[in-house]
Copies of this chain bind each other. A is one copy, B any other.
Amino acid sequence: MEHLADILRQLFVLLLAAKIGDEIFKRLGQPPVIGEILAGALVGPAVLGWYEINAETSLFAEIGVVLLLFQVGVETRLHDLVRVGPTALVVGALGVALPFAGGFLLAALLGSPLEVAIFLAAALTATSVGITSGVLRDLGVLGTLSGRVILGAAVIDDVLAMLILAFASGLAAGSVALDQIATLVVVAIMFIGVVLIGGTRLLRRRRSLLTDPVFAETPFLPGMIIMLGLAALASQIGLAAIIGAFLAGMVVGESSERHALEAEVAPVAAFFTPFFFGAIGAQVNLAGLADLGTLALVVGVTLLAVATKFIGAVIGAIRLGWAQAVLIGWGMVPRGEVGIVVAGLGLQIGAIDGELYTVVVAMAILTTLIVPPVLPMLVRRAGGAEELEFRDDG
């Protein structure tokens, strides 16, 4: 009973703080998610200590980003993604290749063993699309060309990151089972392919499938069930849970009752997403950075992470024009919770030590914090307003 009171109080504090931060930044004309992240940092362990990262609050944060990507998926149509497919593929591939090469080279220069080099490189590759899609959604430009390239590239990015992580884990364990890794990748690609093509086709043929007499009045609860199921499945086969949620959203978004669905998902997402953004802030821990050598490493690794991802993605998207490419490159920069998960895995199997873990977590948070303030300007430069016509496609 006391434990429950404690958790309820923490959820209350974070939601209240995030909401206040959100309102303040809205008034300042800044992305509201920055206000939520800073509010999370303020009430979190580093400053006030009114909110902690534990099993329950982590789950709320995770459900928050799962719902955000589900919502993004509902607003995204398959043919829009397919149209940007080739560009997204190049952006995703180069946006993985350059950070990986950069991380590997840095570790080699520092004289680290091979498995440390591969783990650092793996931690630098993963993109977390949660923050960027949150900001683009707030700006109403998620359906633009750049928004769709970012979403498509994030899916491809996640498959490649899974491949690298499986390879790195195998190497750290002493043996790389190439057949197992191949199986993993085939399963992941099949999962994405079957869900996307099979699922959307099924729903497009029978648009009322989820609201038929078999099921309830609106596709809301069936949608939530599919979201949880595909997020769990994606997570189980080594992809990020948010990729499963995004695919679930795309499938369910084909339902004939899509607008009723959107209206019902909106409050659930509005309730949960502040826990995601707030938890990112609450994870900020400055104590580990007191050592000057560690701090220098954080700055170096973060600059490397930003530069390699940005340059890779910009090259991949350059045929869309400079302004679009810069927007896409910047939107791919956040490592978010995916980077932290990779670092945690590396620590767990002993491939990296405590110091490098702190460095990677700090890099993941820093790359996530620097993106939202600059995105609105890049959207304007890329002609966000004119591009809005693309939204009617969906």
Contact = CB atoms under 8 A, between A and B. Distances in A.
Interface of A: 1-2, 4-5, 7-9, 11-12, 15-16, 19, 23, 55-56, 59, 62, 66, 214-216, 220-222, 224-225, 228-229, 231-232, 235-236, 241, 264-268, 270-271, 341, 345
A1 B235 contact: yes
A7 to B, nearest CB: 6
A66 B1 CA distance: 14
A271 B2 CA distance: 25
Nearest to A234: B5
Given A12-B232, A56-B59, A270-B220, A225 B5 contact: no
A16 B270 contact: no
Contacts of A228: 8, 11-12, 15
Contacts of A66: 8
Contacts of A11: 228, 232
Contact of A5 (B2, B15, B19, B235): B235
Contacts of A241: 4-5, 8
Given A15-B228, A215-B23, A267 B8 contact: no
30 contacts: A1-B341, A1-B345, A2-B235, A4-B241, A5-B235, A5-B236, A7-B59, A8-B62, A8-B228, A8-B231, A8-B235, A9-B229, A9-B232, A11-B232, A12-B228, A12-B229, A12-B231, A15-B225, A15-B228, A16-B225, A16-B229, A19-B222, A23-B214, A23-B215, A220-B267, A221-B270, A224-B271, A265-B267, A267-B268, A268-B271
A9 B236 contact: yes
A143 to B, nearest CB: 22
A263 B56 CA distance: 27
A299 to B, nearest CB: 28
A364 to B, nearest CB: 15
A229 B231 CA distance: 30
Most B C-beta atoms less than 10 A away, residue of A215, A216, A222, A228: A228
